Amino acid sequence: MVDYEKQFEKPDYEIGVRQTQVASVFRLVYGWMCAGLALSGLVAWYTAVSGLWQRVLMGLGLWICIIAELALVWILSASIRKLSVGAACAMFIVYAALNGLTLSVVFIAYEIALVQRVFFITAAMFGGLAVFGSVTRSDLSQMGAFCGMALWGLIVAVVVNMFFHSSGFDWIVSFAGVLIFSGLTMWDAQKVKLLAQADGGMDGAMRHKAALMGALELYLDFINLFIYLLRIMGRNRD
């Protein structure tokens, strides 16, 4: 006589373990992302209200911070497998703090009420996009690849407009930025889901480092969505 309870005991246990692993990856990714955003926000606010921006960001200071941020992102992306978990976490924290320094100009250029309003709009928009990317069964890889290529065009457009200062072109760039980073948010959220589903093949250290990279990508998506929405709404307000 077949004991059906014993027959299904192992699969049920495996499903439970799998669900726990998936939840663990999601907690790591979004936990680090939120921690990075919180750190950047605090540093940006303090730098603005304390007047520290006048000593740090004047002259070459701003460019030094930007170059340091780009270097940290490049090192993390290129060497994540070789770095220890502690080193990768430290670099993420330093990056978030440096980005907070450069973002302090937001509190100087815009009224605090507008910054707060745009932040909550960005959070709601980002949350909806991330949930869609996590639950959809459609493969978003082609959209992610297209948005990745479009991002390079956006960067070129921003640099070009630094010389021409066209307000109309800046308007187009801002809307394009919102669309591109909306697409990247959905794709990066889906990659987090795929990472969580493939978690069984990674040890604890690699899982943490992979989650850190996912957090960095989503952090960048959120920050850029926030900046481009702020530019649009700030222009409308003016």
Q: Tell me, what's the pLDDT at 193?
A: 87
Average pLDDT in the 181-185 region?
96
pLDDT greater than 80 at residue 210: yes
Rounded mean pLDDT, 48-58? 85
pLDDT in tens, 78-136: 888 888 999 999 999 999 999 999 999 898 889 999 999 999 999 999 999 999 999 99
Residue 201: pLDDT band with limits 50, 70, 90: low
Mean pLDDT for all residues in the chain: 86
Confidence of residue 13 (pLDDT cuts 50, 70, 90): very low
pLDDT for 11: 53
Beta-carbon contacts of 129 under 8 Å, excluding residues fewer than 6 positions away, are: 182, 185, 186, 189
Share of the chain above pLDDT 90, in %: 54
Rounded to whole angstroms, the Cα distance separating 42 from 39 reads 5
The phi and psi torsions of 166 (rounded to 5 degrees) equal -85, 120
pLDDT exceeds 60 at position 164:
yes
Residues 19-34, mean pLDDT to the nearest whole number: 83
Domains of the chain, by residue range, sit at 22-237
Q: What are phi and psi of 84, to 5 degrees?
A: -75, 160
* 82: number of Cβ within 10 Å: 10
- Residue 12, pLDDT > 70, answer no
